[in-house]
Amino acid sequence: MADAASRHQPVMLQRCVDLLAPALERPGAVVIDGTLGMGGHTEAILDQHPGVTVVGIDRDLDAIALASERLSRFGERFVAHHAEYDDIDGALGRAGAQACDGILLDLGVSSLQIDEAERGFSYAQDAPLDMRMNREDPITAADILRDADQRELTRILREYGEERFAARIAESIVARRAQAPLTRSDELADVVRACIPAASRQPGSNPAKRTFQALRIAVNRELEVLERAIPAAIEGTRVGGRIVVMSYQSLEDRIVKNAFAAGATSSAPPGMPVIPDEDQPYLRLITRGAEKAGADEAEANPRSKPVRLRAAERTRPTPPARLRRAA
């Protein structure tokens, strides 16, 4: 494989480091990079904060191998953890810490996975319909296309891809697989293209984009992992620590937005003169809404165009009553 630094341009790199920076002044600070990828964000954190240790989580062993080679110069200040990014407790255990000072999550598919055609993530290159971020997982996109019934396929495309023509595409997939299984990305892209009227297609966008997104999310259980990861990240961050999350589609961003908003808002009824401890907010929103990449970055790195960045600071422990309500 080519050198990781030459293959990947991290999104909003300096903004992420700057948002985490105020929480990293404590000697022995620990950061969890929950989506290590090829290690670009971790490298910048380690370079700019010499006293920090970073635990990098990734479910993709290829990514861990590339990033570990890239970050070997930092010695024991970098620790790799092969897991899904909701395993915050496991990452803390690798660092010998009870809580961390910062958590970074850069969601979605990585450049490594998109660029390696044989992984099957991209509709732009013909490849086997795999789409597994962790190649040890048992279910591929081809398996779902072969085994899911029409109703389930419609649900996946509508819910995870927000696809208007989900029912039509699902019907076509079922009809097509009666002749032969769909095993290649070009085959699926052709089926989808035939289902979407030309007048409904966005100029410059492949009509299969939403279908591929939906299958990728289903294969990797991305929203399920994220639903667990955000509460785990909040509870794994010390008071004064910070959480930075970058999302690339509305389903992810909605989960992050709602969790941060709930933590930053009192749960007491409106109008109470004194807010009880159990209803106090435990987060402070650092970003106003979701931040986007600047125009220069979006032009230089097209993959940064859809990003939505949100950040929050831990202001107090979560009141036990609010933890019970969320459970």
Q: What's residue 5's pLDDT? A: 52
Give the strands of the sheet with 100-106, arranged side by side: 78-82, 53-58, 30-33, 100-106, 237-247, 308-314, 283-285
Are residues 202 and 208 in contact, defined by beta-carbon separation less than 8 angstroms?
Answer: no
Structure tokens at 140: 């591929």
89 and 227 assigned to the same domain: yes
Q: What is the CATH number of the domain that holds 16?
A: 3.40.50.150
For residues 80-101, give the mean pLDDT: 96
Length of the chain: 327
57 and 203 assigned to the same domain: no
134 and 95 assigned to the same domain: no
Tell whether the model's pLDDT for residue 221 goes beyond 60. Answer: yes
42 and 57 assigned to the same domain: yes
Of the ranges 129-143, 220-234, 312-326, which one carries the lowest mean pLDDT score? 312-326
Domain extent for 27 = 4-112+222-326
Q: What's residue 1's pLDDT? A: 41
Q: What's residue 201's pLDDT? A: 80
The pLDDT tens digits of the residues spanning 275-290 come to 887 888 999 999 999 9
Among the three residues 193, 220, 247, which one is the final residue of a domain in this structure? 220
Q: What's residue 7's pLDDT? A: 58
132 and 215 assigned to the same domain: yes
Q: What is the CATH number of the domain that holds 193?
A: 1.10.150.170
Among the three residues 220, 240, 267, which one is the final residue of a domain in this structure? 220
60 and 86 assigned to the same domain: yes
25 and 41 assigned to the same domain: yes
Phi, psi at residue 237, to the nearest 5°?
-105, 130
Known binding positions for S-adenosyl-L-methionine: 39-41, 58, 85, 106, 113
Are residues 49 and 58 in contact, defined by beta-carbon separation less than 8 angstroms?
Answer: no
Q: 199: pLDDT confidence band, cut at 50, 70 and 90?
A: confident
The pLDDT tens digits of the residues spanning 255-265 come to 999 999 999 99
Are residues 215 and 148 in contact, defined by beta-carbon separation less than 8 angstroms?
Answer: no
Could you tell me which residues come within 8 angstroms of residue 161 by beta carbon, excluding any fewer than 6 positions away? 210, 211, 213, 214, 217
Let me know if 65 is exposed, middle or buried by CB neighbors in 10 A (0-12, 13-18, 19+): middle
**Spatial separation of the C-alpha atoms in residues 151 and 144, rounded to whole Å:** 12
Known binding positions: 39-41, 58, 85, 106, 113
**Number of domains the chain is built from:** 2
Torsion, Cα of 8, 5, 126, 192 (10° steps):
-10
Tell whether the model's pLDDT for residue 163 goes beyond 70. Answer: yes
Structure tokens at 255: 């989960």
Count helices and strands (H / E) in the chain: 15, 7
For residues 189-211, give the mean pLDDT: 87
65 and 151 assigned to the same domain: no
Mean pLDDT score of the chain: 91
Among the three residues 200, 220, 240, which one is the final residue of a domain in this structure? 220
105 and 27 assigned to the same domain: yes
Burial 107-121 (b: 16+ CB within 10 A, else e): bbbbbbbeebeebbb
180 and 252 assigned to the same domain: no
227 and 312 assigned to the same domain: yes
